[in-house]
Amino acid sequence: MKIFSAAQVREADAYTIEHLPITSLQLMEKAAIQCTQWLETRYSQGYSFHIFCGAGNNGGDGLAITRLLRQLGYEATAYLLQYTDQFSTDNRANQAALHSQETAAIITLQPGDKFPALPEHAILVDAIFGTGMSRPLLGFLAETVQQLNALKDRYTIVSIDLPSGMLADESTKDLLSVQAHHTLSFEVYKLAFLLPENASRTGEVHILPIGLHKDYITQTPTRYELADTALIQSIYKPRQPFSHKGTYGHVLLIAGSYGKLGAAVLSAQACLHAGVGLLTVYVPEAGYNIIQLAAPAAMCLVDDNPQQSVQFHEAVTADGAGKYKTIAIGPGLGTSGDTARAFKKLLQRYRSPMVIDADALNILAAEKQLLDLVPPHSLLTPHPKEFERLFGPSANDVERLEKLAAAARERQLYILLKGRYTAIAGPDGAVYFNATGNAGMATGGSGDVLTGILAGILAQGYAPKDAMVLGAWLHGLAGDLGAAASSQEALLASDMVQYIGKAYQEIAGYATLQHPSKNL
Ligand SMILES: NC(=O)C1=CN([C@@H]2O[C@H](COP(=O)(O)OP(=O)(O)OC[C@H]3O[C@@H](n4cnc5c(N)ncnc54)[C@H](O)[C@@H]3O)[C@@H](O)[C@H]2O)[C@@H](O)CC1
Ligand SMILES: [K+]
């Protein structure tokens, strides 16, 4: 699912009006009908709706919603904010339509007016600004939004298209905006909905179709895309009947140190469940029994050092050629000087794409010139702090995404930035977001599972970008299925491993399980 900028959304509206037998006012009506239906299914007749409307088309939506709700028998009042007398054409048309229905339905709010008194079962609808928002909210507008936000613990706030004050595709981190419980947005996700900095502003996002022209949507290139089931199913390759274990690659996983061998176990198990042909796990001596018992399907190579691996480069021949289709390095590895030196030697020998995570990323961050040795098209999986250590700080989430795309392009790497909506960038600069996963996955070992999955998928012959997108989806879906079976609180990284199989079933379309990711 493509993510359009505010300018592209406006173009999509204009293209639709030009190429389909629909006027701008009719498109607004469709948007309002969708919102009204959503409100109607959610709230019974006992509720009254208080709809705060701006002077543009977002306000026009609000006025139309007021009229439609009243037609359904709800109590609904539009508060038209008088910060300007420049109303858009469709806004005026909807004022007239509402006036002709029943004049008392519109109340004008002027600067200095008292905020309306609200009954107990009130729903506040924010239709002040949408994609036309172009500058910070000031004066009367800022006061109105502050008053709405002050009521958010008592009343539900539903924003139309965007919480007013929020920009669709730029950071509004330090600016005032409505803090909605629900955002009803049209046709496509906006970048702003995927940014952690907006977590308290959008609430739950619901995308409602309004029939924008398919040609515009399919033909217009975008910088950002949200992975959906169609994309995942186009990436996924079922196993071939005449294949053998050699078909699915051999991974060398270098992970674990004394006290952190669980990381190696989780990664190894995830790699095996992800479908790798063969797995060799390289651990310090202390890990031998642990790996052999916890992952009997894997082979084990042991470092002479009892506690930390320091010679793993020797597992690869001096020219880097050999049996390993890919190497995954980092979970629980440790960052001692000897480990860092072995990592440098490994990078000098092995030139195929690797999966680099956790302590291996920390070693790169501490010795940045090592980044130049990372094989092109390798997969790096930092969380925001690791990303910052590697590529520097960012003033806001949008700047961080731009840094992510630039780093991937300049260094010819695939970088996966972990988060609620994990962002994945490749050398072409495009950014994919992953929507599967839940807060239960914010638990120790979750990242180790992802590393194992990514290595297991990459070794099977998927292109690095496909491995990243599929791997992130699979990891999140396994977490969602695990949480559905118990709870987010109780979810452990080992549960994610156990649900990789079911997640594959869903992707392959075998399962009958219902899951929210199906709606994407
Ligand atoms: N045909 C269409 O174009 C459709 C538009 N729709 C709605 O229309 C919205 C976009 O409408 P508009 O382009 O009229 O824009 P808005 O209604 O978001 O904003 C109206 C105008 O307010 C002014 N403004 C922006 N920020 C301001 C600020 N901080 N203080 C004071 N004034 C400010 C700008 O001049 C802006 O154009 C969408 O978000 C959506 O809700 C929907 O009805 C679907 C169809
Ligand atoms: K709004």
DSSP string, 175-237: S-----SEEEEESS--GGGG-GGGHHHH-EEEEE-----HHHHHHS--SEEE--HHHHHHH--
State which of 9, 15, 17, 133 you would mutate to test the pocket of ligand 1, scoring each by most atoms of that ligand within 8 A of its C-beta.
133
Percentage with pLDDT > 90 across the chain:
93
Q: Atom 25 of ligand 1 has which residue's CA nearest to it?
A: 133
ipTM of predicted complex: 0.98
Cα–Cα distance for residue pair 518/146, rounded to 1 Å: 37
What is the total residue count of the chain? 520
Rounded to 5, what percent of the chain is helix, strand, coil? 45, 15, 40
Q: At what angle do helices 261-273 and 446-459 cross, to 10 degrees?
A: 40
Question: Is 48 annotated as belonging to a binding site?
Answer: no
Predicted confidence band of residue 318 (pLDDT cuts 50, 70, 90): confident
Does residue 163 share a domain with residue 292?
no
CB 213 within 8 A of CB 20: yes
Query: Is the model's pLDDT at 369 over the cut of 60?
Result: yes
Backbone phi, then psi, for 75, in 5-degree steps? Answer: -80, 120
How would residue 517 be classed by pLDDT, with cut points 50, 70 and 90?
A: low
Does 34 contact ligand 1 (Cβ within 6 A)? no
Contact 332, 257 (CB under 8 A): yes
CA 78, distance to chain mean position in Å, is 34
List pLDDT tens digits, range 60-116. 999 999 999 999 999 999 999 999 999 999 999 999 999 988 677 999 999 999 999
3-state SS class at 253: strand
In angstroms, how far apart are the furthest CA atoms of the chain?
86
The answer to whether 501 is a known ligand-binding residue is no
- What is the pLDDT, as a whole number, of residue 512? 42
Classify residue 516: in a domain, yes or no: no
Domain hosting 114: range is 2-221
Our answer on whether the CB atom of 125 is closer than 6 Å to any ligand 1 atom is no
86 lines ligand 1 (CB under 6 A): no
Instruction: Name the residues around ion ligand 2, CB cutoff 5 A.
Output: 126, 159-160, 164
pLDDT recorded at residue 323: 86
Q: What is the distance in A from the centroid of ligand 2 to the CA of 35?
A: 12
Which residues neighbour 458 within 8 Å (Cβ) at sequence distance 6 or greater? 249, 325, 326, 353, 355, 379, 464, 467, 471
**Is 28 labelled as part of a ligand binding site?**
no
225-272 pLDDT, tens per residue? Answer: 999 999 999 999 998 888 787 789 999 999 999 999 999 999 999 999
Q: What is the mean pLDDT of the chain?
A: 95
Statement to judge: residues 162 and 271 lie in one domain: no
Ligand nearest to the CA of 56: 1
Asked if residue 130 has its Cβ within 6 Å of ligand 1, the reply is: yes
- The CATH number covering residue 353 comes to 3.40.1190.20
Question: Is 187 close to ligand 1, i.e. is its CB under 6 Å away?
Answer: no
pLDDT, position 513:
45
Domain limit, last residue, from 221, 239, 265: 221
Domain count, the chain: 2
Q: Is residue 16 part of a domain?
A: yes
pLDDT digits (tens, 9 = 90+) for 176-231: 999 999 999 999 999 999 999 999 999 999 999 999 999 999 999 999 999 999 99
241 and 192 housed in the same domain: no
Claim to verify: residue 243 and residue 216 sit in the same structural domain: no
Question: Sorting pLDDT into bands at 50, 70 and 90, what band is 520?
Answer: low
Domain boundary residue, one of 221, 248, 264: 221
Establish whether residue 226 lines the binding site of ligand 1, counting it when its CB lies within 6 angstroms of any ligand atom. no
